[in-house]
Amino acid sequence: MEWTRKDIVDYYKANELAYSVWGRNMHYGYWDKGIRTQRQASIRFNQVMAAKARISAKDRILDAGCGVGGASIFLAKTFGCHATGITICSRQVEMARKNAQKEGVSHLTEFYEMDYMKTTFPDKTFDLVWGLESICYAESKQALINEAFRVTNDQGRLIIADGFASRESYSGRDAWQMQRWLDGWIVNGLDTPANFLKFAAQAGYRRYEYEDVTRKVMPTALIMFIASLPFFPLHIIDRIKRIKSYPADAMFNQYLAIRRKLWEYGIFFAEK
């Protein structure tokens, strides 16, 4: 089925408790040497992305799909830069503003309810567009890249960390398994690294690159898989007779699918 904007908003509203468990930086995380917990891995991913994007205090950053402000707050606190977070979930805007105030960076951050596919910002407003596990929700990845190009200045950059499709199309069991975990998180589909690079070239970026970091997120994929095992009877039934999506369905199938190399996790970076 095709998920709508309302479906995504309702999903995140219904799953606010996850932020209490995972932390406001709710993503796969980057497992380097010395990382021992999921929350450490989440912060480490912010650091890795910031280094690749060469973030400094003078940057104005658009956090596209900011959630409850985790990355925006981290960037403002760490670098002293200005971060603008946008999300289609009004409840997340409220939570992000409260989190920023609590962390003492309200003067460096702002949050709005807005669709990152068609923002209301003037041309060349930002130095960098940042998307961390949010760009998967874009109906058109090409349109998203075009919008990022429009709202960044002449030295503008774009950085994305997310899931990417390992192939152009899927069929049979592969298609079913991919859609099971994507549906569990209300994602309509992923695109390939090759297409992201092509879209960047077509938008006008002069340099663009992609790095497969799947091995760095595998511990998180395994954590979610283990957390899904109490639902194992449902997982088995689902393979005999298709049942409606249920709790932990996505966590179970994302791991099996990434192990089967149906999808991968990567960092995409482009600059003008």
pLDDT per residue as tens digits for the range 235-253: 777 777 777 666 688 999 9
How many Cβ atoms from other residues are within 10 Å of residue 21's Cβ?
10
Question: Could you tell me whether strands 82-87 and 126-132 are parallel, antiparallel, or unpaired per DSSP bridges?
Answer: unpaired
Query: What amino acid is encoded at 8 in this protein?
Result: I
User: pTM value?
Assistant: 0.93
Please check whether residue 270 is in contact with residue 158, taking contact to mean a CB–CB distance below 8 angstroms. Answer: yes
pLDDT in tens, 84-103: 999 999 999 999 999 999 99
Tell me which residue of 103, 117, 130, 84 sits closest to 23, measured CA to CA: 103
- The pLDDT of residue 198: 98
Q: How far apart are CA 139 and CA 5, in angstroms?
A: 10
Q: What are the distances in angstroms from CA 195 to CA 168, 199, 209, 231?
A: 9, 6, 12, 36
Please check whether residue 191 is in contact with residue 141, taking contact to mean a CB–CB distance below 8 angstroms. Answer: yes
Domain 5-168+188-214+263-271 class, CATH top level = alpha beta
- The pLDDT of residue 110: 98
